[in-house]
Chains A and B, each alone.
Chain A
Amino acid sequence: MPPRTCGLCNNARAMLKRPKTGQQICRDCFFYVFETEVHNTITEAKLFKPGDKVAIGASGGKDSTVLAHVMKALNERYQYGLDLFLLSIDEGITGYRDDSLETVKRNQQQYDMPLKILSYDELYGWTMDAIVEQVGKKNNCTFCGVFRRQALDRGAASLGVDHIVTGHNADDIAETVLMNIMRGDIARLGRCTLICTEGEDTIKRSKPFKYAYEKEIVMYAYFKKLDYFSTECIYSPDAYRGHARVFLKDLEAARPSAIIDIIHSGEAFEVSEEVKATQKVQQTCKRCGYMSSNDLCKACTLLEGLERGVANSAITDRARKKLDAEGPAPENLRTIPFYHAPSATPNIAIAINTP
Chain B
Amino acid sequence: MSESCGNPAAETDALMARRTKFDRSRDCVKCKTNTGNIVIRHAVYCKDCFTPLQITKLKRTLEPTINAASAAAKGPSRNKLRADGNLAIGISGGLGSTVLLDLIARCYYSTDGSTKTKGKGGTKHPRNNESIWREARVFYIEMCGAYPESASRDRTDEIRLIVEKYPAFEFCPLRIEDAFDPAWWARVGGRSPEKEHAMGVNLASEDLLLGSVSSPTGSPCAALRAYLSSLPTATATQSAIANLTRLLLLYTATSTGSSHLLLGTTLTSLSIGLISGVAVGGGFVVREEAGEQWAPRGGTSASAVKIVRPLKDMGMKECAAWAWWNGLAVVGKENVSGGRQGIGGLTKDFIVGLERDYPSTVSTIARTCAKLAPKAAASERCVLCERPAQKGVQEWKARISIRSVRDANTDASQAAPPPKLNPPHDGHQLPPTLALTPHLCYACHTTFTSRSSRSAAHLAKGVALGAQGGPVPLPAWVASRMHEFGSGGDSAGHAGGDKEVWQGKQMGAGEMQAVVGEFLLEE
Asked whether A and B interact, the reply is yes
Measured CB to CB, the closest approach of chain A to B224, in angstroms, equals: 22
B447-478 interface bits toward A, Cβ cutoff 8 Å, 1 = contact, 0 = none: 00011110111011000000000000000000
Q: CB within 8 A of A21: which of B3, B353, B403?
A: B403
Quick check: B401 and A37 within 8 Å, CB to CB?
A: yes
Q: CB within 8 A of B421: which of A8, A14, A270?
A: A8
Quick check: A240 and B8 within 8 Å, CB to CB?
A: yes
| CB of B68 closer than 8 Å to a CB of A | no
Which residue of A is nearest B398, CB measured? A40
Quick check: A29 and B418 within 8 Å, CB to CB?
A: yes
| CB of B186 closer than 8 Å to a CB of A | no
Quick check: A236 and B7 within 8 Å, CB to CB?
A: yes
Tell me the bound Cα distance from A185 to B451 in angstroms.
32
Which residue of A is nearest B345, CB measured? A254
Report if A182-B361 is in contact (Cβ < 8 Å); known contacts: A9-B418, A141-B10, A255-B233: yes
Quick check: A145 and B422 within 8 Å, CB to CB?
A: no
Give B353-398 interface residues, CB cut-off 8 Å to A. Answer: 353-354, 361, 364-365, 367-369, 371-375, 390, 396
Quick check: A242 and B405 within 8 Å, CB to CB?
A: no
Quick check: A145 and B372 within 8 Å, CB to CB?
A: no
Quick check: B283 and A141 within 8 Å, CB to CB?
A: no
Chain B residue numbers with a CB within 8 Å of A20 are 401
Quick check: B286 and A265 within 8 Å, CB to CB?
A: yes
Quick check: A178 and B275 within 8 Å, CB to CB?
A: yes
| CB of A77 closer than 8 Å to a CB of B | yes
Quick check: B375 and A272 within 8 Å, CB to CB?
A: no
Q: CB within 8 A of A9: which of B13, B420, B455?
A: B420
Chain A residue numbers with a CB within 8 Å of B408 are 8, 32-33, 36
Quick check: B5 and A144 within 8 Å, CB to CB?
A: yes
| CB of B242 closer than 8 Å to a CB of A | no
Which residue of A is nearest B372, CB measured? A269
Quick check: A33 and B402 within 8 Å, CB to CB?
A: yes
Q: CB within 8 A of A254: which of B2, B13, B16, B346?
A: B346
| CB of B514 closer than 8 Å to a CB of A | no
Measured CB to CB, the closest approach of chain A to B83, in angstroms, equals: 26
Report if A268-B13 is in contact (Cβ < 8 Å); known contacts: A181-B275, A182-B364, A183-B364: no
Report if A254-B342 is in contact (Cβ < 8 Å); known contacts: A21-B456, A77-B416, A184-B364: yes
Tell me the bound Cα distance from A185 to B371 in angstroms.
11
Q: CB within 8 A of B283: which of A26, A245, A267?
A: A267
Q: CB within 8 A of A268: which of B283, B419, B446?
A: B283
Quick check: A89 and B5 within 8 Å, CB to CB?
A: no
Tell me the bound Cα distance from A11 to B420 in angstroms.
8
Report if A37-B282 is in contact (Cβ < 8 Å); known contacts: A9-B418, A247-B350: no
Quick check: B396 and A264 within 8 Å, CB to CB?
A: yes
Tell me the bound Cα distance from A77 to B415 in angstroms.
6
Chain B binder among A58-66, A288-296, A331-339 = A58-66
Tell me the bound Cα distance from A184 to B450 in angstroms.
29
| CB of A92 closer than 8 Å to a CB of B | no
| CB of B280 closer than 8 Å to a CB of A | yes
Quick check: B279 and A23 within 8 Å, CB to CB?
A: no
| CB of A198 closer than 8 Å to a CB of B | no
Quick check: A261 and B446 within 8 Å, CB to CB?
A: yes
A247-282 interface bits toward B, Cβ cutoff 8 Å, 1 = contact, 0 = none: 100110011111011101111111111010000000
Quick check: A257 and B446 within 8 Å, CB to CB?
A: yes
| CB of A354 closer than 8 Å to a CB of B | no
Quick check: A269 and B373 within 8 Å, CB to CB?
A: yes
The size bracket of the interface on B is: 35 or more
Tell me the bound Cα distance from A260 to B111 in angstroms.
50
Give A94-143 interface residues, CB cut-off 8 Å to B. Answer: 139, 141-142
Quick check: A37 and B399 within 8 Å, CB to CB?
A: yes
Tell me the bound Cα distance from A27 to B73 in angstroms.
70
Quick check: A9 and B419 within 8 Å, CB to CB?
A: yes
Quick check: A247 and B6 within 8 Å, CB to CB?
A: no
Tell me the bound Cα distance from A245 to B354 in angstroms.
14
Quick check: A242 and B401 within 8 Å, CB to CB?
A: no
Tell me the bound Cα distance from A270 to B373 in angstroms.
5
Quick check: B278 and A262 within 8 Å, CB to CB?
A: yes
A194-224 interface bits toward B, Cβ cutoff 8 Å, 1 = contact, 0 = none: 0000000000000000010000000000000
Tell me the bound Cα distance from A241 to B10 in angstroms.
10
Measured CB to CB, the closest approach of chain A to B511, in angstroms, equals: 27
Chain A residue numbers with a CB within 8 Å of B421 are 8-9, 29
Q: CB within 8 A of A177: which of B13, B278, B420?
A: B278
| CB of A350 closer than 8 Å to a CB of B | no
Quick check: A145 and B8 within 8 Å, CB to CB?
A: no
Quick check: A39 and B364 within 8 Å, CB to CB?
A: no
Which residue of B is nearest A63, CB measured? B2
Tell me the bound Cα distance from A179 to B11 in angstroms.
9
Q: CB within 8 A of B1: which of A14, A89, A186, A189?
A: A89
Give A297-325 interface residues, CB cut-off 8 Å to B. Answer: 315
Chain A residue numbers with a CB within 8 Å of B396 are 264
11 other contacts beyond A29-B419, A272-B372, with CB at 8 A cut-off?
A8-B421, A22-B453, A26-B419, A61-B1, A141-B4, A167-B2, A168-B2, A182-B361, A241-B9, A247-B346, A254-B343
Provide 18 A-B residue pairs closer than 8 Å at the C-beta atoms, listed in order of the A residue: A11-B420, A29-B419, A37-B399, A37-B400, A166-B3, A179-B11, A179-B15, A182-B365, A182-B368, A236-B5, A240-B8, A243-B353, A257-B446, A260-B401, A262-B278, A268-B284, A269-B373, A270-B374
CB-CB nearest 10 A-B residue pairs: A265-B283, A22-B456, A242-B8, A141-B10, A236-B7, A261-B281, A59-B1, A183-B15, A272-B373, A268-B284
* Interface residue ranges, A against B (CB under 8 Å): 4, 7-12, 14, 17, 19-24, 26, 28-29, 32-33, 36-37, 39-41, 43-44, 57-59, 61, 63-64, 77-79, 88-89, 139, 141-142, 144-145, 148-149, 152, 166-168, 172, 175, 177-186, 189, 211, 232-233, 235-236, 240-245, 247, 250-251, 254-258, 260-262, 264-273, 275, 315
